């Protein structure tokens, strides 16, 4: 059985990255074309919900998608490996939680198992992205977490909100932000927001 899939995320580059990763497995997974990055237009077996830069409230969005009759199963796709995030996702109605460190074959197997009715959690050993998992502003030398910090800052989130949404300590958030500022050559939050808006870290919504 071929699994029909759509990718839900506010950043087209992330959607394109998943499509590229799954391209060699077109006989097993069909990425439904023409879907909005925010809404599902036609029935699919699986909706892969990439929560990059979703901020506080991604669990509510997960619940909304899980209750959509056009979606067979919602799967969270993330760099996060914290067990609290997995627990929150499953409680919100997700049928699975897959990390971006997974290579294509492992991702496809996970999607097939979920489409068949299993609840599947596949976590990598760290938050490093797989070989074909691009993220916004990665070409600027930012790590996935640093890019996410800037994207959330651009949306107006406080450090405390970011820590809560990303399952990080406030000191870790500050460290990521400090490193990101150094890499992009800014010193203030308004400068960081301006840089983010100019470099693909503004959601498409």
Give me the sign of the Cα torsion angle 176, 182, 188, 193. Answer: negative
Residue 187 lies in a domain: yes
pLDDT value of position 85: 92
Q: What is the pTM of this model?
A: 0.82
pLDDT for 113 equals 97
Largest Cα separation within the chain, whole Å, is: 52
Is there a domain that residue 101 lies in? yes
Q: What is the pLDDT of residue 37?
A: 52
pLDDT of residue 177: 97
In a domain, 129, yes or no: no
The reply to whether 170 and 96 lie within a common domain is no
Give the separation between CA 49 and CA 45, rounded to whole angstroms.
13
pLDDT for residue 56 = 76
22-56 in b/e form (b: 16+ CB < 10 A) is beebeeebbbbeebebeebeeebbbbbbbbbbbbe
Enclosing domain of residue 29: 3-122
Residues 145 and 104 in one domain: no
* pLDDT block averages, 10 residues each, the chain of length 205: 88 79 93 64 90 83 93 93 93 95 91 97 66 66 88 92 91 96 96 92 67
What's the pLDDT at 118?
97
Looking at the structure, do residues 81 and 117 belong to the same domain, yes or no?
yes
Q: How many other C-beta atoms can be found within 10 angstroms of the C-beta atom of residue 113?
A: 16
Number of domains observed in the structure of the chain: 2
Residue 116 lies in a domain: yes
Same domain, residue pair 117 and 145 = no
Q: Distance between the two ends of the chain, CA-based, in angstroms? A: 33
Q: Is residue 76 helix, strand or coil?
A: strand
My answer on whether 118 and 143 are in the same domain is: no
Residues 14 and 100 in one domain: yes
Tell me, yes or no, whether 128 lies in a domain: no
Same structural domain, 19 and 78: yes
155 inside domain = yes
The pLDDT assigned to 33 comes to: 66
Q: Report the pLDDT value the prediction gives residue 35, as an integer from 0 to 100.
A: 53
Query: 114 and 171 share a domain?
Result: no
Whether residues 75 and 146 fall in one domain: no
Answer whether residue 172 is part of any domain: yes
177 and 84 within one domain: no
């Amino acid at each position: 059985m071929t699994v029909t899939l759509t990718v839900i995320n506010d950043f087209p580059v992330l959607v394109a990255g998943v499509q590229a990763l799954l391209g060699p497995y077109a006989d097993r997974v069909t990425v439904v074309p023409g879907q909005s990055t925010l809404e599902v237009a036609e029935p699919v077996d699986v909706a892969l919900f990439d929560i990059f830069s979703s901020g506080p409230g991604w669990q509510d969005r997960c619940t909304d998608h899980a209750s959509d009759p056009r979606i067979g199963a919602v799967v969270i796709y993330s760099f996060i490996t914290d067990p609290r995030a997995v627990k929150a996702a499953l409680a919100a109605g997700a049928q699975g939680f897959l990390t971006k460190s997974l290579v294509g074959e492992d991702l496809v197997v996970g999607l097939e198992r979920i489409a068949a009715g299993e609840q599947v959690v596949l976590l990598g050993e760290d938050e490093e992205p797989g070989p074909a998992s691009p993220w916004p502003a990665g070409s600027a030398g930012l790590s996935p977490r640093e890019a996410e910090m800037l994207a959330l800052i651009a949306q107006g989130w406080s450090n405390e909100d970011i820590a809560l949404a990303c399952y990080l300590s406030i000191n870790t958030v500050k460290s990521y932000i400090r490193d990101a500022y150094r890499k992009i050559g800014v010193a203030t939050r308004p400068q960081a927001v301006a840089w983010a808006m100019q470099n693909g870290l503004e959601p498409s919504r």
